[in-house]
Structure 1
Amino acid sequence: METPLLNGSSGDTDLIGDDGDYRPVEGYRQMRRVFWIETVKLWKIAGLIVFNILCQYGTYSVTTIFVGHLGDIELSSVAIALSVIGTFSFGFLLGMGSALETLCGQAFGAGQVYLLGVYMQRSWIILWVTCIILLPIYFFTTPILKLLGQEDDIADLAGTFTIKIIPQLFALAISFPTQKFLQAQSKVSVIAWIGFVVLLIHVGFLWLFIYVIGWGTNGAALAFDLSSWITAISQVIYVVGWCNEGWKGLSWLAFKEIWSFVRLSLESAIMLCLEVWYMMSIIILTGHLENPVIAVGSLSICMNLNGWEFVVFLGINAAISVRVSNELGLGHSRAVKYSVYVTIVQSLLIGLVCMVVVMGARDYFAIIFTSSKVLQQAVAKLAYLLGITMVVNSVQPVISGVAVGGGWQALVAYINLGCYYVFGLPLGFLLGYKADMGVMGIWLGMISGTALQTVFLLIIIYKTNWNKEVEQTTDRMRKWGGQDIETEKIADNI
């Protein structure tokens, strides 16, 4: 099996020890070479994942755009259904599925490639059961939205639309684990191509069902369901047909140690959801200020820009998770440490560049979203906080990716709970309402929570003994379906 560290380049042999791991870096020249090696490996994975996430984001955006031409009520209803109910389910299932990033990545790195198919089937089972548990939210969307104060017409249509996209929910339960299966092996080009082709197909479906046949929001729901299942089925076909080393067919081993797997999946979901809900809560708090239209509008514009930057870091998040889990599986503790340090430095540089751009264009970028001078001025005042947020958010997703790759989901979930909900939210409330700082106070408090979480995780990473993490990786694979890893490695080397 080819080591994830190097591709056999003779010019890098002085960097690599007999065990395949990096030797201690000595001098600027070696440090520069390690930085370049890790940069190439990171972006080979991250670039294509970013492209795929943009395609997935595009299916939601395009659906909203097409429906928007049907009427204001249709637009609001579908937007709420996708952004509230759809995002909640998407985030929870993505979190549940991210347990595979830990297990599949470590198994692949250790040469236990056959386990990837078993883990993927186990995740399919867990996510399908999770979908069934989530169904009441879909069936009772209308009363839930009315309880939250939404208008009856919008809530009724949103509830109807949500019920009709239930098939899409179950498609995610197939596609998420399959994506993690492929990501662990760095087969991300397939995911990217499928995402791009399905986006084009989705646009065709929307045009056909909404404009040609005239099915309105029913046609949008049908297009959403079909596109999601095309993605899931295409990925499974590729796995079955072209991933023979990792896919050995359906196996009863998928039911082995399933409760331990469920626990790791829940830890992953809680860790991710605490982060997603934290950023959603700022909109809720802002909506209760004295001038909510300007406050929410200006904040939404800033969050939109921040969201585009966040897409890039989601790709880096997934890429560093793959790198960490693969190298832990191989037993390369120093490679893990170097890849983490290189990724944090690069992400911080990207965040600083984004901050500088936002600061420089603070008086102009709101024109893209609104013609209101009052709203443009409000956005310009928030631009400084947006720039700081971009820097903080550049490091935080990387550390979360390291946590997933290392299997630290439970620890990070506790840290998120304390930093976000015990410190950040109350501070934002006090600054926003009691100190009369408005939206700037709310945002400043929440940035402080994110910064505190980032500091804690940086300290943990700095103090981590990666040799012990390698030992825990070996124990985890033995417990959850692996054979004796050292025997496998010896056989592989022979």
Structure 2
Amino acid sequence: MATDTPLLDNTNNNSSSVVENEEEKPLKIVHKFGVESKKIWKIAGPAILTALSQFSLGALTSTFLGHVGELQLAAFSVENSVIAGFAFGFLLGMGSALETLCGQAFGAGHIRMMGVYMQRSWIILLTAALLMSPFYIWATPLLKLVGQTDEVAEAAGTLARWMIPQLFAYALNFPIQKFLQAQRKVLVMLWISASALVFHVIISWLLIFKLGWGLAGAAISLNTSWWLIIIAQLMYIFITKSDGAWNGFSMLAFADLFNFVKLSLASAVMLCLEFWYLMILVVITGHLKNPLVPLDSISICMTINGWDIMIALGFNAAISVRVSNELGAGDFKAAKFSVIVVSLTSIFIGVVAMIIVLSTRDFFPQLFTSSDAVAEETTKLAVLLGFTVLLNSLQPVLSGVAVGAGWQSLVAYINLGCYYIVGVPAGILLGITFGFGAEGIWSGLIGGIAMQTIILIIVTSVTNWKKEADEAESRVKKWGGANAYEN
């Protein structure tokens, strides 16, 4: 009997420890979720505010022009969405190659190569900007070619020529942003962008309203504000050396440019197919009868949607940094858990944004226009806007995962199929063939976004993260990280 008692006690102890472990498991997951969420928000919070500040440069200009006249608002909407949107999407896409390389190099501890990567990206993006300049110079005939009315095309084309300095600002800005984001220096970007936004509000009010310069004043204020951001960021990098990531200009920037261009183009195609998608909404709407009011209402909705996308892009930047850093460091489990945390957080924010849009649909249009017809049309489109902001809360995050892991080519094919083989034809069919107007066009495009989001969820769910970590290590070696230190 004496020997039975300890055995009985052991059984009780084992069973009680199992119960305790089962009770502690959810607590550990909650704690782990909180720790990862804190890491994400440290990057995402400033990144969101930075993106909102930079997007608001154009959005506030649109708001100012909306109170000047319908033609001015329509012209700015077309130039900003079609011409500048084309350049923005392409250059941001090419710059996102740097997000993969700098993030994984930082995670692997190859800090010095980050400055070289940025210089390579500058060379490629400035060349691309030069090649895209003709789109700005001959914007008027191009816009007429895709169906814009003569009145809108003339005004938007004139504005496009004035906005060429912004094109080259984009080419410098995106590599700088990816360089700083990979090092988690997002607060620097926030302070610079927020200061530029304050300056932009003042100068826009002065030039557009006080002096009555209209579209010309809008062009001057936007160009000036963007170049202030570039100059301030460069001064920070050159003065501080960015903790060793910047070691001055190097001839290494010209090495292996061909392979760098290939990765940049894959990134550009992936993101361009996303950015140009909603731009097509503006182009197709221009084919409707009496398109001025629908174009203005679409412009207002795109401004609201743009602000929401900037929140998602903050999480896009955060998850891209977290995934690329963790894969570069070889910790595939941390990368996978980070994806789960960001996805759940983004969905929650998307639901909140949808509720806000739907509950204020009778009021927010008046903030952007003095036209009753435009406000009424905008209210009709608000339901579609609500669904769009919900989908756009998660979709850019999944794209950020793709960039952090280096899946740009795969996602480019997914975007091509969902957006341009399904979404665009559906939008044309509903909006023009069946006569549902702007609401029909937008409904078709939402179908493409929903399909793409579902496919990206499936791809992310079945990913072998251990394999992704091994590929990240190979990628860092391939792009010269190890060799740079040996030399």
Q: Classify the TM-score, shorter chain.
A: 0.7 to 0.9
Q: Which residue of 1 aligns with 2:5?
A: none
Q: Which residue of 2 aligns with 1:177?
A: 175
1:111-150 counterparts in 2 under 5 A?
A: 111-150=109-148
- Using a 3 Å threshold, how does the CA distance of structure 1 residues 440 and 234 change in structure 2: closer, same or farther? closer
Between 1:33-42 and 1:101-110, the stretch displaced more is 33-42
Shift of 1:480: 1.0
- Using a 3 Å threshold, how does the CA distance of structure 1 residues 52 and 452 change in structure 2: closer, same or farther? same
Q: Which residue of 1 aligns with 2:56?
A: 58
Q: Which residue of 2 aligns with 1:460?
A: 459
Verify the 8 A CA contact 2:149 2:286 in the aligned structure 1: no
Kindly provide the CA deviation profile for residues 255-290 of structure 1, in whole angstroms up to 9, marking residues without a partner as x: 222111111111111111111221122333344456
SS of the residue 1:249 aligns to: coil
- Using a 3 Å threshold, how does the CA distance of structure 1 residues 155 and 371 change in structure 2: closer, same or farther? closer
SS of the residue 2:244 aligns to: coil
Kindly provide the CA deviation profile for residues 397-437 of structure 1, in whole angstroms up to 9, marking residues without a partner as x: 11000001111111100000011111222233334455555
2-side partners of 1:296 and 1:79: how far apart? 8
2-side partners of 1:482 and 1:39: how far apart? 30
Shift of 1:182: 0.4
1:238-277 counterparts in 2 under 5 A?
A: 238-242=236-240, 243-277=242-276
2-side partners of 1:75 and 1:68: how far apart? 5
2-side partners of 1:315 and 1:420: how far apart? 23
Bigger radius of gyration among the two: 2
Between 1:463-472 and 1:273-282, the stretch displaced more is 273-282
2-side partners of 1:370 and 1:206: how far apart? 17
- Using a 3 Å threshold, how does the CA distance of structure 1 residues 298 and 341 change in structure 2: closer, same or farther? same
Between 1:407-416 and 1:66-75, the stretch displaced more is 66-75
SS of the residue 2:481 aligns to: coil
Q: Which residue of 2 aligns with 1:423?
A: 422
SS of the residue 2:482 aligns to: coil
Give 1:466's aligned amino acid: W
Q: Which residue of 1 aligns with 2:3?
A: none
1:38-49 counterparts in 2 under 5 A?
A: 38-49=36-47
How many residue pairs get aligned? The number is: 463
Verify the 8 A CA contact 2:139 2:160 in the aligned structure 1: yes
Verify the 8 A CA contact 2:148 2:287 in the aligned structure 1: no
Shift of 1:201: 3.0
Verify the 8 A CA contact 2:97 2:264 in the aligned structure 1: yes
Shift of 1:344: 0.6
SS of the residue 1:353 aligns to: helix
Kindly provide the CA deviation profile for residues 469-492 of structure 1, in whole angstroms up to 9, marking residues without a partner as x: 11111111111111079x99xxxx
Between 1:363-372 and 1:89-98, the stretch displaced more is 363-372
Give 2:198's aligned amino acid: L
1:82-93 counterparts in 2 under 5 A?
A: 82-93=80-91
Shift of 1:164: 3.4
Shift of 1:84: 2.8
Verify the 8 A CA contact 1:52 1:192 in the aligned structure 2: yes
Give 1:227's aligned amino acid: S
2-side partners of 1:316 and 1:379: how far apart? 28
2-side partners of 1:252 and 1:325: how far apart? 26
Q: Which residue of 1 aligns with 2:345?
A: 346
Between 1:220-229 and 1:92-101, the stretch displaced more is 220-229
Give 1:128's aligned amino acid: L
Shift of 1:74: 5.6
Verify the 8 A CA contact 1:403 1:409 in the aligned structure 2: yes
Shift of 1:211: 7.7
Q: Which residue of 2 aligns with 1:108?
A: 106
Between 1:177-186 and 1:420-429, the stretch displaced more is 420-429
2-side partners of 1:332 and 1:253: how far apart? 29
Between 1:230-239 and 1:414-423, the stretch displaced more is 230-239
Shift of 1:78: 4.7
- Using a 3 Å threshold, how does the CA distance of structure 1 residues 398 and 169 change in structure 2: closer, same or farther? same
Q: Which residue of 2 aligns with 1:233?
A: 231
- Using a 3 Å threshold, how does the CA distance of structure 1 residues 126 and 375 change in structure 2: closer, same or farther? closer
SS of the residue 1:192 aligns to: helix
2-side partners of 1:181 and 1:106: how far apart? 12
1-side partners of 2:220 and 2:296: how far apart? 31
Verify the 8 A CA contact 1:253 1:481 in the aligned structure 2: no
Structure with the larger helix share: 2
SS of the residue 2:252 aligns to: helix
- Using a 3 Å threshold, how does the CA distance of structure 1 residues 452 and 73 change in structure 2: closer, same or farther? closer
Between 1:70-79 and 1:382-391, the stretch displaced more is 70-79
- Using a 3 Å threshold, how does the CA distance of structure 1 residues 78 and 459 change in structure 2: closer, same or farther? closer
Shift of 1:156: 4.5
Between 1:435-444 and 1:384-393, the stretch displaced more is 435-444
Verify the 8 A CA contact 2:282 2:295 in the aligned structure 1: yes
SS of the residue 2:87 aligns to: helix
- Using a 3 Å threshold, how does the CA distance of structure 1 residues 370 and 108 change in structure 2: closer, same or farther? same
SS of the residue 2:422 aligns to: helix
- Using a 3 Å threshold, how does the CA distance of structure 1 residues 160 and 376 change in structure 2: closer, same or farther? closer
1-side partners of 2:290 and 2:443: how far apart? 18
- Using a 3 Å threshold, how does the CA distance of structure 1 residues 339 and 201 change in structure 2: closer, same or farther? same
- Using a 3 Å threshold, how does the CA distance of structure 1 residues 64 and 431 change in structure 2: closer, same or farther? closer
Verify the 8 A CA contact 1:286 1:292 in the aligned structure 2: yes
Verify the 8 A CA contact 1:256 1:481 in the aligned structure 2: no
Q: Which residue of 2 aligns with 1:480?
A: 479
Verify the 8 A CA contact 2:129 2:171 in the aligned structure 1: yes
Q: Which residue of 1 aligns with 2:410?
A: 411
1-side partners of 2:299 and 2:148: how far apart? 19
2-side partners of 1:483 and 1:189: how far apart? 30
Kindly provide the CA deviation profile for residues 88-140 of structure 1, in whole angstroms up to 9, marking residues without a partner as x: 21221111111111110110011111111010000010011101111111221
1-side partners of 2:146 and 2:308: how far apart? 30
TM-score (normalizing by structure 2): 0.85
Shift of 1:327: 0.7
1:50-449 counterparts in 2 under 5 A?
A: 50-64=48-62, 77-150=75-148, 155-206=153-204, 218=216, 220-242=218-240, 243-289=242-288, 296=295, 299-366=298-365, 368-369=367-368, 382-433=381-432, 437-449=436-448
SS of the residue 1:483 aligns to: helix
Q: Which residue of 2 aligns with 1:22?
A: none
Kindly provide the CA deviation profile for residues 361-420 of structure 1, in whole angstroms up to 9, marking residues without a partner as x: 455554555687776666555444333323222211110000011111111000000111
2-side partners of 1:38 and 1:171: how far apart? 34
